[in-house]
Amino acid sequence: MSDATLPPLILSEVREGVAIVTFNRPARLNAWAPETGTTYFNLLEQHALDPEVRVILVTGQGRAFCAGADMSALSAMAGSAATLNLEKRPYWFPLTIGKPIVAAIRGHCIGIGLQQALCCDIRFLAWDAKISTVYARRGLVGELGISWLLPRIVGMGATMDLLLSGRTIDADECYKIGLANRLVEVEVAFDVAFDYCRQIAKQCAPWSMRTIKQQIYADLTSSLPESYARAEAAVAEALTGAAFGEGMKAFAEKRSASYLPLDPSLALLDIAPNGVGSRN
């Protein structure tokens, strides 16, 4: 089969304000190919700039989210300093998207698949999910920023366990340690996650969601006084903004709010206010 006739690595559609991005190598459990990063990040940026999109839902075709790096590509890199990323954006690029990113995860979510799931803001796990860092069992290390991401989600103890053992954990343990926001039945995993996305797309102000996401990620490396000062500035901006005006008017009139789309100039976040990775 030629490259021209191969199915797309990733599928994408927009439905009811929700961009659905689907890893599409089901025969390989959606293993991460060298071109996957570029395709995925391009789609995220495209949806970040699209006024029609308010929330992004990421999932996998078939019975896996992403089973990690394509082993044929990984084996070819043994003994070299090569990388699976063919372009310059970092693997934590999804954190800079100014819209909520929700992951609907079933089956294998391993290695880079787990790292990308951690770069989503919210995670719905089906009961058949199988989660592993796997690095130590392949002679690798905690790569792609996972040693920064994981402890901020599950804490130091659980991170040490998962990275040092490389063991596989199930959905129930993921929920207990805080890696999963919600557990759902396999048959309805996508539907439940999509309904959540559809509801926040309908009910929440895009500017507010964008600014809250900016606050949370910037504050991970900030002091409390720095966080407080930024929040005060954001509140002052909110009080004079269109989103707050519409929200209060809708509340008073007992109707659903009709919020403006996110301005494309706000599509990407500066999650490192001290300069590293800044887009300003």
Residue 109 phi, psi dihedral angles, 5° rounding? -140, 95
- Half-sphere exposure for 255 (CA within 13 Å, toward CB): 7
For residue 98 the two structure tokens come to 């100014």
Euclidean distance between CA atoms 155 and 159, whole angstroms: 6
| pLDDT at residue 84, rounded to an integer | 54
166 has pLDDT over 60: yes
| pLDDT at residue 254, rounded to an integer | 95
| pLDDT at residue 270, rounded to an integer | 84
What's the average model confidence in pLDDT over 20-28?
A: 97
| pLDDT at residue 271, rounded to an integer | 74
What residues contact 87, with CB distance under 8 A and at least 6 apart? 37, 38, 41
Domains of the chain: 3-201 (3.90.226.10), 205-266 (1.10.12.10)
Q: For the beta carbon of residue 40, count every other beta carbon within 10 angstroms.
A: 22
Q: pLDDT tens digits, residue range 70-113?
A: 876 554 444 545 555 566 889 999 999 999 999 999 999 999 99
Euclidean distance between CA atoms 45 and 147, whole angstroms: 25
| pLDDT at residue 274, rounded to an integer | 47
Q: pLDDT tens digits, residue range 208-262?
A: 999 999 999 999 989 999 999 999 999 999 999 999 999 999 999 999 999 999 9
| pLDDT at residue 279, rounded to an integer | 36
Q: For the beta carbon of residue 211, count every other beta carbon within 10 angstroms.
A: 22
3-state secondary structure (DSSP) of residue 201: helix
Average pLDDT, the chain: 90
Question: Which of 181 and 86 is assigned the larger pLDDT?
Answer: 181
In total, the chain counts a number of residues equal to 280
Given pLDDT bands bounded at 50, 70 and 90, which one contains residue 197? very high
